[in-house]
Amino acid sequence: MTIASELQAAADAAPTPIVLPPVDRAWQARLTEEILEPDLPIIDPHHHLWGPPRDKYLADDLSADIAAGHKVEQTVYIDCREGFLTEGPEMMRPLGEVRFARGVGEKADEAGGPRLCAGIVGHADLTNGDAIAELLEAQVAEGGGRFRGIRQSAVWDPSGLRTSSRVAPRGLLADPAFRTGFAHLGRLGLSFDSWNYFHQIGELADLARAFPDTTIILDHVGGVLGVGPYEGKRDEHFAQWKAGILDAASCPNVSVKLGGLAMHTVGFGFEHRETPAGSEELAEAWRPYIETCIEAFGADRAMFESNYPVDGVTCSYAVLWNALKRLGAGASADEKAALFKGTARRVYRLD
């Protein structure tokens, strides 16, 4: 079976994914907080934008969230299959998303204010091997100086758990065809964002050691799970997650994003409350994961992220960044500057 046919077979056989809940703005508004450290410069290195049929979150929505008071200076758009081309070769269709995000960024620049989509991370199916170079080179050209790399989901779970519409086959990161395609990232100076589950972090570390000159970003503290077969077993799986984090951190070319813990799939359950949890409570719940990552990677290889609008199921953009600021409160001035801006700026090569 080819890797492409295995992907399709996995999609056909996998259980129905856990549906992404919509962001309830009225529910979020039941809790408001004063903005902490409003003058702290921030680069938000992980957000999405999408329109119907999904619950709309486009540039105007992101701009409104930023206007709530945090000093977000630049953002990095991360692939979410928005704007894919509907015609032409399947491999080339992600080019449309880069065109979409570039348009958002250029419009924001013309308007002044925060530089939305200053960096763009698109999608590419690296299992196309050497053929993927055509798409990658086209994305670099289409990005108009904003294109920084790609993300290809590797999430796979032995239970058949699905938290995404994208289903990867087991062992994708080790697949020879995938690695042939991956080799072109380094040649073009592009990075790789990895979305995997916590028990797959070791597979990512193996990939990083095989390609030590390619920049890799581990998304969402490595993919913590607290739903399905993982519900109620947080303490049981924390040690396995931590071992994976330490393994990934031993690779100098890997950085980590500090966020994604407000996703409903992490299993904290804050989204079920009548009133949203405040930033202090959120920070305490997330602290073991965030502090472990910062200790392992150091501030110069760790960056706070919003993962919006996905994390909006738990809290508003304003409350989310308040929680992250509480988690960074004990850092030195230099460390804080790196965690909230400097690391993202360097890793994504932002002006």
pLDDT of residue 351: 80
Whether residue 260 contacts residue 305, with contact meaning beta carbons closer than 8 Å, is answered with yes
Task: Convert 53-67 to b/e letters by CB count within 10 Å (16 or more is b).
Answer: eeeebebebbeebbe
Percentage above 70 pLDDT, the chain = 94
Q: Map out the domains of the chain as residue ranges.
A: 3-347
Average pLDDT for 275-304: 98
Average pLDDT for 320-337: 98
**pLDDT tens-digit readout, 216-272:** 999 999 999 999 999 999 999 999 999 999 999 999 999 999 999 999 999 999 999
pLDDT at 323 over 60: yes
Average pLDDT for 118-142: 98
Three-state secondary structure readout of 80-122 = CCCCCCCCCCHHHCCHHHHHHHHHHHHHHHHHCCCEEEEEEEE
DSSP letter at 50?
A: B
Average pLDDT for 107-126: 97
CA-atom Rg of the chain in angstroms: 19
pLDDT of residue 12: 44
pLDDT at 16 over 90: no
Cα gap 206→229, rounded to integer Å: 26
pLDDT of residue 21: 75
pLDDT of residue 15: 55
Q: Is 38 left (phi over 0), alpha (psi -120 to 50) or beta?
A: alpha
First vs last Cα of the chain: how many Å apart?
45
pLDDT at 91 over 70: yes
Whether residue 150 contacts residue 96, with contact meaning beta carbons closer than 8 Å, is answered with no
Query: Quick one: fold of 3-347?
Result: TIM Barrel (3.20.20)
Average pLDDT for 65-90: 97
Whether residue 339 contacts residue 287, with contact meaning beta carbons closer than 8 Å, is answered with no
pLDDT of residue 111: 95
From residue 278, how far is each of 29, 221, 225, 344 by CA, in Å? 12, 21, 22, 26
pLDDT of residue 186: 97
DSSP 298-348: -GGGEEE---BTGGGGTS-HHHHHHHHHHHTTTS-HHHHHIIIIIHHHHHT
Average pLDDT score, the chain: 94
Starting at the earlier edge strand, list the strands of the sheet with 147-151.
Answer: 42-47, 72-78, 115-122, 147-151, 191-194, 216-218, 254-258, 302-304
Q: What is the pTM of this model?
A: 0.94
261 in helix, strand or coil? coil
